[in-house]
Every structure is written in C-alpha cells, then in structure tokens.
Amino acid sequence: METAVSSSSQCGYSYEEYKETADWLLAHTEKRPKVAIICGSGLGGLAELLEDKNVFQYEDIPRFPTSTVPGHAGRLVFGRLQGCECVCMQGRFHFYEGYNMHMVTYPVRVFFLLGVETLIVTNAAGGLNGTYSVGDIMLIKDHINMLGFAGQNPLCGHNDKRFGVRFPCMSDAYDRDLRALTKQTAKEQGCDNFLQEGIYCMLAGPTYETIAECRVLQTLGADAVGMSTVPEVVVARHCGIRVLGLSLITNKVVTDYESNERANHEEVLKTTERRTQDLQRLVSHLINKL
C-alpha cells in the first residue's frame, strides 16, 4: 500500500509543528543554548568538545529528518563549550538526499524557538580560488544561491511573521562583527596563515562539478563550492539569527581537461581529519569570546 505524502513535506511546516519539536527538546534537556553549530562532512568532532552533554539521535526527535551521508553521525548534542550553552548538529540534511528545502532547514527554526541567537555553519568545500590550498579554512563573507536561482528557496510558500518578514535582506547574511572576531581569534591561535575569506557557492549535488561548471563558477566570482549551508543560512537570517560560516577546503576543483585529478568523498573526509583539530580550536576560542 502506498504511503500518503504529508502536506508538510510538500508545503512546509506550521509554526505549531516546529514548536512541538522545540518543546519536546526543552522537556528532555535543561540546556538553553544561545549558539547552534551545524557540522559538515567529517566535522562532527566539534560536538565532542561540549561538556555536560545531552545527546539525541535524530530518529528519536519528533519530526526530525535523518542523515544518510557518510561523515554525518545524525545526532543532536546539547552541552557547554567554554561556559556557553550550545547545541550541535552532528550531520546536516541535504537537498540531494531527497529532502525538500523545508526539511533541509527544519532544525534552524527549531533552534530559533529554543532561543538560539547565533548560528555557526561549517562545511567541506571544493576550492575554486586558485590561491587556496587544500586544508585552508575559508571564512564565508557571502554566498551564491544557485538553487535559489532555480526556484528552490526554503522561504517559498506561506510566510509566518512569527519567524520573519516576507522579503528578508541577504546582503548582510554573514555577520561582519563575527567575521572580524574570527580573524582576530585565528591570529591569536596561529591559524591565520591558512584562514581565507571568500564567497561560497551552493550547487544541488550529489555529483561533483564538471570542468565547464567550475569555470562558470569562477567567472561568477565564487571562491569555493559545495552542496549545503546556504538554505540553513537563509532561514537563520529570516529568523534574525546572526550567522558565521566556515568552509574547510578539502579538494581543489578540476579546471583542466588534461588533468587526471578526480574529486571524491573519501578525499574530503581524509582532509577534514587532518584539519579538524585546528577548526575545533578556532571555534572553541571564538565561542569563548561570544
């Protein structure tokens, strides 16, 4: 027998549905986080820094999607980092997994209802900028929403004013003060020699980019490319949550037809293993300043 598709999977969720999830979490933990961290591929180790943890499997949380990608553990972790109460997603949801934009961004509005004020998003990305090296951390200053160009925007549909305005501004998507604080922290921690700042472009995936596509993205001004992050940022800004974005450059994109290089997920995970401790140290000391 065929299973009926719920209206929420097609048209988004109601305020009451988001609140049901938030209320369930508030009833199951005493933590009241002000900072949320979304961990990209292989970067879930950030959650291990938290102390006094409460851990929830995604499948145990009402209405939460589940993560299907290697390198994404699929756990929501509450705890304290540098004395600050945080919630950390060990694994995010992607459009290419078959989730629509409302499902991909579901946790962000739940975080808003939990009282989160700052969102830190991390991802693994391919380097389009020729000056970048594998292992660099790119501070995201802006993004190119290619899925948005194609009409896949998480704010499409009914707008609930309890979350935000109908037409939110995105020219300040990535908080200027948080970026300045990150640069200062990176210098103090000796990470500034591999910290870059640039523009992130999101494609749908799950295929890696063709050579022609990479050249187009370079022409558009993108410095790094990935398959995530932008939808969560859009919804966070709609809710008035300030955002800091960090991309770990895990591979250099191929732009030469004579090259034998091939992008692959195993390479991405190996690079994140090498740079994870530096990224963890940077985020930890940054939260201490918040």
> What are the residue numbers of the active site?
41, 72, 94, 96-97, 124, 227-228, 251, 265
Rg of the chain in Å (alpha carbons)? 18
Beta strands in the chain (DSSP E): 35-39, 51-57, 75-81, 84-90, 118-127, 137-145, 195-202, 224-226, 242-252
Task: Judge whether 118 and 168 are in contact, CB under 8 Å.
Answer: no
Name the residue among 97, 242, 93 with its Cα closest to residue 178.
Answer: 242
| 93 contacts: CB under 8 Å, gap ≥ 6 | 65, 67, 99, 103, 104, 106, 107
Among the listed residues 82, 136, 75, the one whose alpha carbon sits nearest the alpha carbon of residue 107: 75
Long-range (24+ apart) CB contacts under 8 A made by 168-172 are: 168/234, 168/237, 168/238, 169/237, 170/234, 170/237, 172/237
- Cα dist. 224→33, 131, 244 in Å? 30, 11, 16
Q: What is the DSSP letter of 198?
A: E
Dihedral sign, CA of 90, 235, 27, 21? negative
Q: Which two tokens stand for residue 47?
A: 């959650």
